[in-house]
Amino acid sequence: MPKGIILKGIGGFYYVKTDNRIIECKARGIFRKDNTIPIVGDNVEVSISKHDKLKGNIEKILPRSTYMIRPAVANVQQLIIVTAISSPVPNLMLLDKLLVLAESKKLDIIICFNKIDLSDKESYYPMLNIYKNAGYKVVPMSCHTGEGIDKIILELKGKITAFAGASGVGKSSLINAINPKFKLQTGKLSKKIERGKHTTRHVELLEMEDGGYLVDTPGFTTIEITKEINADELSYMFREFRAYYNMCKFRGCTHTHEPECKIIEAVKENTISDLRYRNYLQIYEQLKEVKEWEK
């Protein structure tokens, strides 16, 4: 049975890319069998119609390596988090929450600082360095001048990559810059459309010429993190905290107030960024407040 990947789903039809063509599929009987609804990114087995080689039915959903919600996409391997260095003002709390989300799903992560044409290095390098020092791949870039785009393209090969970040930071512009063929509507145009009434956007995988897919979406949100992560797991999602794993005096140290906490000491010594630590504390409190029944 041919195998393929679901590129998009519209009105009960799934468009499955197999080796050599795209097959329009239904998903009859699959829910009963697998107890799962197919979503974009799923690897599936299809049966081809006897009458039309371009039509078929999804018979089996293969196991998912990851599962993202809002929008639902399976098998995302990499998250590109976009922040603008200005306009809009960087929201580093959002960035840190998205990092937590991506770490919890064990995704590859790239942080893009976009719109570097708007400022000089001296003003944005300190911010960039916080994340470099925390162990992340950081790319300063500009969709307007094209700086940094090549570097990002190199990271996309053979993976399913999704984008996240606040509105207006340049996610659609970045997808356009990667390949103008994708032609997402950016800026003013998309704002106009957003205001329209029936703007249900369909998620779609955009195929890169030399392998790999981009998830064409307005971006993932951080709503997931309170649902999926417990406060006591949070410190593992802060990459630069991991070096201190099990080194604090108290077992189960929450790194919020305890004496002889190695994380707190590292913050005092400036080995861990104070800003990252403060965001850790805030996210920790938020996760603590989420009661079990809310999960």
Q: Which residues pair with 146 in a beta bridge?
A: none
Interaction pattern, residues 180-219, with ligand GDP; x per rule: CB under 6 A: ------xx--x-----------------------------
Between 29 and 168, whose beta carbon lies closer to ligand GDP?
A: 168
Lookup result for tokens 């590859």: 108
> Does 114 engage in binding with ligand GDP (CB under 6 A)?
yes
Residue 187: which of ligand GDP, Zn ion, none does it interact with, CB under 5 to 8 A by kind? Answer: ligand GDP
> Does 238 engage in binding with Zn ion (CB under 5 A)?
no
In the complex, what is the shortest distance from the CB of residue 262 to Zn ion, in angstroms, rounded to a whole number?
Answer: 6
Retrieve residue 75's tokens.
């098998």
> Does 117 engage in binding with ligand GDP (CB under 6 A)?
yes
> Does 168 engage in binding with ligand GDP (CB under 6 A)?
yes
**Whole-angstrom distance, CA of residue 234 vs CA of residue 239:** 10
Residue 161: which of ligand GDP, Zn ion, none does it interact with, CB under 5 to 8 A by kind? Answer: none
Contacts of 217 (CB under 8 A, 6+ apart): 71, 73, 162, 163, 201, 203
Half-sphere exposure of 36 (CA within 13 A, CB side): 17
> Does 169 engage in binding with ligand GDP (CB under 6 A)?
yes
Between 109 and 175, whose beta carbon lies closer to ligand GDP?
A: 175
Q: Which residues pair with 84 in a beta bridge?
A: 114
Could you say which of 16, 40, 139, 171 contacts ligand GDP (CB under 6 A)? 171
Between 8 and 144, whose beta carbon lies closer to ligand GDP?
A: 144
> Does 142 engage in binding with ligand GDP (CB under 6 A)?
yes
> Does 261 engage in binding with Zn ion (CB under 5 A)?
yes
Give the residue among 33, 74, 282, 253 at the shortest CA–CA distance from 160.
Answer: 74
- Contact segment (CB under 6 A) with ligand GDP among 1-9, 26-34, 137-145, 208-216 equals 137-145
Q: Where are the beta strands (DSSP E) in the chain?
A: 3-10, 13-17, 22-26, 43-48, 55-61, 67-68, 73-74, 78-84, 108-114, 137-140, 160-164, 204-207, 213-216
> Does 248 engage in binding with Zn ion (CB under 5 A)?
yes
